[in-house]
Structure 1
Amino acid sequence: MAKTHLSLILIKEGVDIEKVLIEGLNSIQLESGYRLYYKLMPTRKPKWIESFFNDNINIGETFHSKSVSAIILFEKDIDGEHRIFAIPFGFGRNLIRSGLIEERFGLLTALSAIDKDKMRSIDMSSLESVLLNSRMQTSTLSGIDNFDVDVNKDLLKSVTGRVEDGELDSTISGRDSLSFSSSATYKTIGREIETYYRKYKSGNYKQYFEWIDKILVIRDKTFIEVLNSLVVSNINSNLLDKMTIAIPDIVDWAKVDHFKFGREDFLEDVDIQLLYDELVNNEGKEVSLEILKSRKIHAYNSEGVKLMSWSVYKCLYVEASYKDKQYFLNEGQWYCIENDFVNEVNSFYEEMPLYSVPLPDYDVPLEDAYNKKLVDSDKEKYFLLDKKLIHISRSSFEVCDVLTSDKKLLHVKNAKGSALLSHLFNQGLVSAECLKDVELRKQINNKLSDACKLDESSNFRAEDYEVVYVIAKPNSTKRPSIPFFSKVSLKNVVSRLFLMGYKCSICGVPFTYVDPQKEEKKQAKKTKNIKNYPWK
């Protein structure tokens, strides 16, 4: 019998079947009490008729098409649980009311059903400075080890593989919905629905894939509204201790002269208290989500040319607790983090060694100036390697910004966002990996003075070197405060450095630089706004 490719959706618990679908749908009564709901869309002309042929084809409605959205619902009592399932056709998924689809039903079912060595492809997001989406496929059925997944930073979004267990015999794919092929009809599909639901409830995925529960992307629009309302409420109440402003992109800070936000034209940086003062205190009105998403933070160069802009919402970093769970807003995306994982990451960061040598404040405008200042403070101890690139094939890397006489590799950054921090951490990792190559060490030594040359023998000892991450922030302590996802990135990098044998440490230095020209502009603007009344 011919098979039909189907998608199975699980509706959230506690929803009445009469409330599952949107209003205004047509329906057809089927046998056995089932009903097919549908919505017909108007006939439409393909866009390419106009864009590519300029409407110069005299074919009437030959290529006009009509899309159909249809869906059928199933109520099932399975092992004492009453659940509702939906099988959509065409664009039928859009007929379900917002927020009612059980997220990850398909993913957890597939992972619990698929043989661990019979996976075909996975879609995942890599949690670095930004969410990087990718799909990996194998030419033959394989285990998860062949997909190069990093369980500490990769979010598994969907999986495809083969299930052959006596009850089921199909290639299945799972994300929110479960996709599979079946020879059943609407009258006989019930048995397969029950089998897949039992796979979902079994929790078998935890045997090999328990790590997928560490970090979850929140996509339920209704719940996102709840979390956003917490953010808005806390801003209006001046409860800002769990919020920061972080520029979401990797920016060339040598080109950024100042920021503009609201009435403030010459900002060195934008922080959460300034946002509150501008939106709440100065304007005298409550913040709304619409304001957070519409108001912009602008970056300008010294000529007054706007370089980049971001919405306030995109720049918000928020840590929030809700019903005993931890949630994080990062670059406009909400995540739920398993409590044990939060504690694990925070503990790792708090226990990470601090660099034992005091470093000067970051009281200069740019990173290269700070590195030079550090080297000039003790030229017998510090050696400048900033911007001395080592070329490998078509790429290049820096050994570090500053190398010390006792083999400390200092990587320095003025931390203005999580993207820049992740970039900093990975720079240290790439450098450390390259240092283990004897030919690269010889190339590096060509750029070093005799006082700081690296060992060119085959007996290179990584344990003799220490990778030091120097992070400059306003009011920073020795252990700088950084966003949670930056801690995740650091933990992943440092774990790999430890495996290679390197020692690692972190060092916070206060960013204290004040640009005299910008300060002069600020004062001039304030003076201009003061009215010269006769009695003053």
Structure 2
Amino acid sequence: MPNEIAKISFFLAKEKEGFESVIDKDKQRELTKSIESRHFKTNVAEAVFYFIKTSSETYEDPPWLSFINEKIENQIHFSTSSKRASGLLLLKVSNRLLAATFGTKGSVLLKKERLVSDFGIITAMNMCGSGELRQTKSSTHTATTKHIDRHLSRPSDSFEFGMDESEHLQFISAHLENNKNITLQGKDSLTLKVIGDSKLTWEKLISHAEEFIIEYKSENYKISFPNYLNIEEVPTPLSNELDEILCQKIKNEDYSNIHLSIPEFIQDDEFSYSYTNNKKRENNIYSHICIEHLIKEKLLSKDRFTIKTLKNKHIYAYSHFDERILSYKKWSYYSCIIAELVHKDRHYILSSGVWKKFDSDFYNMVNDFVNKKITVEKTDNTYNNIYIFEKKKNRESVFNSEYCKINKKAILFDQAKLGIGTGIKNKEFCDILEYVEGSGLINIVHVKRYENANSLIYLFSQAKFYCEFFLSDETFLIDIRNHIIDYKPENLEKYLSIIKDNQEQINGKDYNIKLWLLYSKGSPIPQKENIPIMAKYELKLAYDRLRKVHKYNSIALSFIPVITTNHKEAKSTT
């Protein structure tokens, strides 16, 4: 009876890659005493197999045990040892190289930059369709990247998962169409799980491998997953060019359209982070990671670092439970960078260590929408050129406050502490609320400084978030009405005649949504055409949701000049 296996993961090498080029030679030399390799052939495929055996022994006490040992004479110490077996199987099938991994260290020898980054998810979407999903993972590229992990108790179609158009799908787990004995899990790699008679023999393994290569080339996923953000991986030479541009921007401390985000799902309440893992020196622990830290905290040598530096240096998870840095839970600086660049009139995004080019249809669709649907309004000149510098910073909160001092009928909501549902009362609803005389409408105004893509994305997503809850959440409505009553505007009754105390009587058609972007007087007036592409996309999502679903009366942009100060402060070292 032939031996069978029930689970295997596959990576697909890029075209023209071979057995030698996908192997990390430095890692191979590092593990030379732990590796055995074999070169062999099956009936239809050439193969190379690497067997990796690792062992470790640790004599370090956990911090809490060291704490207890301070007070006891007969101290207690802890040691642990472990042995693991892993494997890497390289298969040449249909003129392409597949890498099958086994165990926890199976992929350690692979050069990730030589592998196709979307092989798993594209193949899984093509082969499984959207009808038997078990799990999805997605993210949104906003000022604070949001990771969303969904599980359902039984296989369901994509509608049940309720994925929003703004989410970038990164992982699916689903049954193969018409075969519930086979489950595919797709991200960069494709994991095959089988039960019953479907378990893998060598013949089935090769057959599946050939099928996976064919299915990866299909575009059926565009029908099953129409909201999948189709952005193509770029070739290595272009990726190198983009890397050089990225390095120069960081050296110049130009962080427009660049931020840091851990590239996987991790519980923020369980972990903090460190940019170092020094054994003999103290390490600084940060509650969050920030792109500005790299230069400001001297983690990079500003004039000498290269893209290799970004790929070799790591961010480590600090476990509050273990009270230590987890050396095995780490990510390269490079893999944590989210960046959007324009190069030779094309738009690219770096995410999870991979540069991708926006699909031309997507790019044209978003620009066409902004050009045709988004109105840019002029505001009353009375509110131009407000000085917004306070407490060593230029702040939109100063503009909001000054606006409401001038306009006695407007209500300041900036920094209001409102609740949604049973959550903490730390929400705002908007920055300014303004009754429009003679129209019977109220303007819901959101204000942000025009700085970079992140600030714009934050503004648009914030407007969508609060305006949706305004129409549906009873607690939010009560707090909004109470804030209006406590504020005591001159036209209080007009506000309350529209913002009624009955949630069912709150209608989007009674409100205009105003998105105000502040720019420094003397600078060129911003144009909607120059808004970064991902910010335009977020604006489209907000518009579609608020106008088409919630029926708000209108949505408009305004660019308002303000007076700012470039502040610089010197302090002595004594």
TM over 0.5: yes
Contact 2:350 2:356 in 1 (8 A): yes
Assess if the C-alpha contact under 8 Å between 1:318 and 1:330 holds in 2: no
Partner of 1:170: 182
Is residue 2:92 matched to residue 1:75? yes
Residues 235-250 of structure 1: pairs in structure 2 closer than 5 A: 245=256, 248=259
Distance in 2 between the 1:69 and 1:187 partners?
A: 22
Q: Distance in 2 between matches of 1:172 and 1:47?
A: 40
Q: What amino acid maps onto 1:321 in structure 2?
A: H
**Residue number in structure 2 paired with 1:428:** 463
Could you tell me how far apart the structure 2 residues matched to 1:119 and 1:313 are? 28
> How far does residue 512 in structure 1 lie from its aligned partner after superposition?
2.1
Matches within 5 A, 1:274-313: 289=307
CA distance in 2: counterparts of 1:315 and 1:332, whole angstroms:
7
CA contact (8 A) 2:386 2:402 kept: no
Contact 2:169-2:229 at 8 Å conserved across structures? no
Contact 1:38 1:68 in 2 (8 A): no
Distance 1:65 1:414, change over 3 A: same
Please report the RMSD computed on the Cα atoms of aligned residues, expressed in angstroms: 4.3
Q: Quick one: distance in 2 between partners of 1:286 and 1:20?
A: 28
Q: Tell me the amino acid that sits aligned with residue 466 of structure 1.
A: N
User: Aligned-pair distance for 1:286?
Assistant: 8.8
CA distances 1:332-359 after superposition (whole Å, capped 9, x unpaired):
9855322222232233334411234234
Deviations 1:198-237 (A, max 9, x none): 332332212211432434688x99875442124457899x
Give TM-score, length-normalised by structure 1. 0.71
C-alpha distance in 1 between matches for 2:447 and 2:352? 23
Residue in 1 that maps onto 2:533:
484
CA distance, structure 2, for counterparts of residue 29 and residue 146 of structure 1: 47
Contact 1:360 1:374 (8 Å CA) reproduced: no
Sort the Cα spacing of 1:385 and 1:173 in 2 relative to 1 into closer, same or farther, 3 A.
closer
Is 1:463 matched with 2:484?
no
Does residue 37 of structure 1 match 2:52? no
Identity, in percent, stands at: 20
TM value normalised by structure 2: 0.67
Map 1:316-355 onto structure 2 (within 5 A): 318-321=340-343, 325-328=346-349, 334-351=355-372, 352-355=374-377
Distance 1:349 1:342 in 2: 11
Distance 2:133 2:470 in 1: 36
Shift of 1:48: 6.8
Shift of 1:144: 0.8
Q: Which amino acid aligns with 2:399?
A: Y
Q: Is the 8 A contact 2:408 2:490 kept in 1?
A: no
Q: 1:16 to 1:469 in 2, by over 3 A?
A: same
1:118 deviates by: 0.8
Choose the corresponding residue for 2:121, options 96, 107, 123: 107
Letter of the aligned partner of 1:228 in structure 2?
Answer: D
The correspondence for 1:402, drawn from 396, 418, 432, is 432
Corresponding residue number in structure 1 for 2:221 = 205
2:439 alignment partner in structure 1: none
Provide the rounded CA distance (Å) in 2 between the counterparts of 1:233 and 1:96: 28
Q: Are 1:127 and 2:141 matched, yes or no? A: yes
1:401–1:331 CA distance, 2 compared to 1 (3 A): farther
Whether the 8 Å CA contact 1:99–1:222 is kept in 2: the answer is no
Counterpart of 1:163 in structure 2: which amino acid? L
Gaps of 5+ in 1: 251-274, 276-282, 295-310, 526-536
Give, in whole Å, the separation in 2 of the partners of 1:402 and 1:202. 50
In 1, the alpha carbon distance for the partners of 2:113 and 2:260 equals 30
CA contact (8 A) 1:70 1:92 kept: yes
Q: Distance in 1 between matches of 2:404 and 2:174?
A: 56
Alpha carbons of structure 1 residues 356 and 512: separation in structure 2 relative to 1, 3 Å:
closer
Q: Deviations over 1:175-202 (max 9, x none)?
A: 1222113533335521222233333233
Once the two structures are overlaid, the 10-residue window that deviates more, 29-38 or 397-406, is: 29-38
Match of 2:561 in 1: 510
Q: Which has the larger radius of gyration?
A: 1
In structure 2, what is the Cα distance between the partners aligned to 1:331 and 1:108? 16
The CA distance in 1 between the partners of 2:507 and 2:355, in whole Å, is 42
What is aligned with 1:118? 132
Give the Cα–Cα distance (whole angstroms) in 2 for the partners of residues 330 and 177 of structure 1: 16
Shift of residue 418 of structure 1? 4.2
Q: For residues 54-105 of structure 1, what are the alpha-carbon distances to aligned partners after superposition, in whole Å with 9 as ceiling and x for unaligned?
A: 795699xxx533333422222223xxxx222222222222223342222221
Match of residue 12, structure 2, among 10, 27, 33: 10
Number of equivalent positions: 458
Distance in 1 (CA, whole Å) between partners of 2:467 and 2:98 is 52
Match of 2:398 among 369, 372, 377: 369
Rounded to whole Å, the distance in 2 between the matches of 1:32 and 1:249 is: 45
* Partners of 1:17 and 1:249 in 2: CA distance: 34
Report if the CA contact (8 A) 2:334-2:353 is conserved.
no
Deviation per CA, 1:501-536, whole angstroms, max 9, x where unpaired? Answer: 221111112232227xx57x68x99xxxxxxxxxxx
TM-fit CA distance, 1:421: 3.6
- Compared CA separation, residues 45 and 225, structure 1 to 2 (3 A): farther
SS of alignment partner, residue 44 of structure 1: strand
